[in-house]
């Protein structure tokens, strides 16, 4: 079996690492050109992706030749914040109040309804807090609109949440479903810093699973999906979905009998999924910017992943997972 | 950190797979030429090996430039069955009766003492039952001697054992020690077919650990070592050592919080070792000769390792580990 991965970053790396344990080959494709991709996927069983910011028309072309999981319908939604939030709303999944913004007039009108503070986000190509501006006063509307480059945007009411969690879930070609326990996440400057597993709360777990299940069915989703939520009291408010393996799920490698990477490969290849069984309490720390020089003491009950990337401010260059087996 | 591995077979592959989780680079060296090796190990912290059948003089040359773990003293013993058995004897580790054989006369004399059945083994380059002949009648001495090519040999009394076990253990540069629970092994035609973990027997475990510890101290050993024993009643009889990660230990990937591969890398890099904590009951099946075409059902609670080798009779081309988490 062979899986083509569109993209060649750390998620493709980690999928490839996991693929070795399934006797599965991968090809990680950095090109964006249809003919170049088609050439490389020739002997592959299926195409998947590590990044939702791919050209939907290109995916549709590829789908005519090979199965692409998750499909272009999902990617189209996940890469456009207004479509994404509108889908949540249609599925009765709570979201912050939001409005579509295509002009300064739209923004001013929306601010008068949603109020401040609010967050103006570009509708496309946002990740790690990029393309986001917090508006604290109504008078900041014009400067915020200019800061986002007057690009198609969405205004979202600012949620004064207690903390953030993510649900990692998978659905296979044949419709089999698995869910990991919720993961508690800490962001700083819009970038995920720390994830902790398991976050145990029966009520929130059931709620999150029901939301993801609704989404899976609506999209006929195949693969792993990461769903980020704000927690406020005993409710979950949808932040965003990642239609792929998710940064917060890296700790599933050490924490469970099967990682998100293994279950993603199983899902897209229509192999039986592995129901996650907790094996260790885990904390993952992203390494941002530059890889530190580590000492032996740093390796106690730790795995250290170095993505081999050049240092760059705010770049995810690796992660460290501490684990405490039960 | 970077580790050079002499050899580029499946053990080097599995070490490399594990190295990714420690942020450690590896270079797997297939060459046997000193200058070519020296060139490749230049930026490495340490040299290790996946096969004991390397030239000891070459290792000694390399040791003048870089640490080599395990060292040439161990390799010299492990690649020569008479030295190996003599060391066991010197350390009061029970062995089958054995004698050094350099001629047909030696063999006939030894057979009269040791009796039949007995096993004639070449002293060097034996693996997977190669270079071994069972002698069932005294009259077979001549044909057996010819079958082994009249090479330097050892005669060992045949042990009518109950079953076979192996102990996987590691010792780091600083002398830290860890032991995995015993693994029960089944061979056929001299080739390991199935390994099962854990094999729980407090008495045999203690015995095996004490034998390995004696050996580690005598050799000032660094790295993982696999020690194969015959079990007969409540005693262990030493069969052989593998001064490296061991085929029976592949199931430590799924069975424990840290695999033999991780602990080997930690040991040679002088990082803290990970005390093994059992996470799953595991059974490993070697895939011999040709890789089968697998069906989805074969992937239930299984990891499948395909070494990417061409099919060849009696060649280990992969292994499958079934695991049942606790």
ipTM of the complex model:
0.94
pLDDT of A127 over the 80 cut: no
Q: How many CA atoms lie within 13 A of B109 on its CB side?
A: 9
Minimal CA separation from A169 to chain B, in Å: 18
Residues of B in contact with A274 (CB under 8 A): 301
User: Model confidence over B204-215: pLDDT tens digits?
Assistant: 999 999 999 999
Cβ contact A305–B272 (<8 Å): no
Give me the count of residues in chain B.
Answer: 326
CA distance B68 to chain A (A): 19
Domains and CATH numbers, chain B: 2-76 (3.40.50.20), 97-157 (3.30.1490.20), 163-325 (3.30.470.20)
Peptide bond into B70 cis (omega under 30): yes
Q: Which residue is closest to A280 within chain B, CA to CA?
A: B257
Average pLDDT, chain A: 96
Q: What is the arithmetic mean of pLDDT over A73-78?
A: 97
pLDDT of residue A12: 98
Tokens of B183: 């693994």
Rounded Cα–Cα distance for residues B243 and A281 (Å): 33
198-227 of A, contacting B, C-beta below 8 A: none
Query: Which pLDDT score, from 0 to 100, does residue A90 have?
Result: 98
Under an 8 A CB cutoff, do B23 and A266 touch? no
pTM given for the model: 0.95
Contact A20 B272 (CB under 8 A): no
Strand partners, A165: A184, A229
Check A305 against B21: CB less than 8 A apart: yes
Angle at B30 between CA B25 and CA B32, to 5 degrees: 120
Alpha-carbon dihedral angle through residues A48, A53, A59, A60, given to the nearest 10 degrees: 130
CA distance readout (Å), B290 to A160, B9, B218, B309: 59, 16, 40, 9
Dist CA A226 CA A204 (whole Å)? 15
Distance CA B14, CA A20 (A): 10
Taking CA–CA distances from A293, the nearest residue in chain B reads B1
Comparing CB atoms, the residue among B22, B272, B296 nearest residue A303 is B22
Q: In this model, does residue A130 exceed pLDDT 90?
A: no
B125 pLDDT tier (thresholds 50, 70, 90): confident
Q: Of B277, B297, B318, which is closest to A325 when you measure between CB atoms?
A: B277
**Residue A174: pLDDT over 80:** yes
Q: How far apart are CA B55 and CA B32, in angstroms?
A: 8
């Amino acid at each position: 079996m062979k899986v083509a991965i569109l993209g060649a970053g750390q998620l493709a790396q980690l999928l490839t690492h996991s693929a070795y344990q399934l006797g599965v080959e991968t090809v990680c494709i950095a090109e964006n050109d249809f003919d170049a991709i088609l050439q490389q996927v020739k002997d592959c069983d299926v195409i998947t992706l590590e990044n939702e910011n791919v050209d939907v028309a290109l995916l549709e072309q590829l789908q005519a030749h090979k199965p692409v999981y998750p499909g272009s319908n999902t990617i189209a939604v996940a890469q456009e914040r207004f479509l994404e939030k509108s889908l949540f709303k249609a599925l009765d999944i709570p979201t912050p109040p939001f409005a579509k913004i295509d002009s300064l007039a739209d923004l001013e009108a929306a601010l008068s309804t949603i109020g401040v503070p609010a967050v103006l986000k570009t509708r496309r190509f946002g990740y790690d807090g990029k393309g986001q501006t917090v508006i604290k006063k109504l008078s900041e509307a014009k400067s915020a609109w200019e800061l986002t480059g007057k690009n198609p945007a969405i205004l979202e009411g600012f949620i004064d949440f207690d903390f953030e969690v993510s649900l990692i879930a998978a659905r296979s070609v044949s419709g089999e479903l698995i869910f990991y326990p919720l993961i508690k996440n800490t962001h700083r400057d819009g970038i995920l810093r720390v994830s902790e597993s398991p976050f145990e709360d029966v009520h929130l777990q059931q709620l999150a699973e029901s939301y993801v299940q609704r989404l899976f069915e609506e999209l006929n989703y195949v693969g792993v999906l990461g769903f980020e939520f704000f927690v406020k009291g005993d409710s979950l408010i949808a932040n965003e979905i990642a239609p792929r393996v998710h940064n917060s799920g890296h700790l599933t490698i050490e924490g469970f009998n099967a990682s998100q990477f293994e279950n993603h490969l199983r899902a897209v290849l229509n192999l039986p999924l592995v129901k996650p069984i907790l094996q260790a309490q885990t904390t993952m720390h992203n390494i941002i910017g530059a890889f530190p020089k580590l000492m032996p003491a740093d390796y106690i009950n730790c795995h250290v992943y170095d993505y081999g990337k050049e240092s760059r401010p705010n770049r995810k260059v690796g992660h460290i997972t501490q684990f405490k087996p039960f």
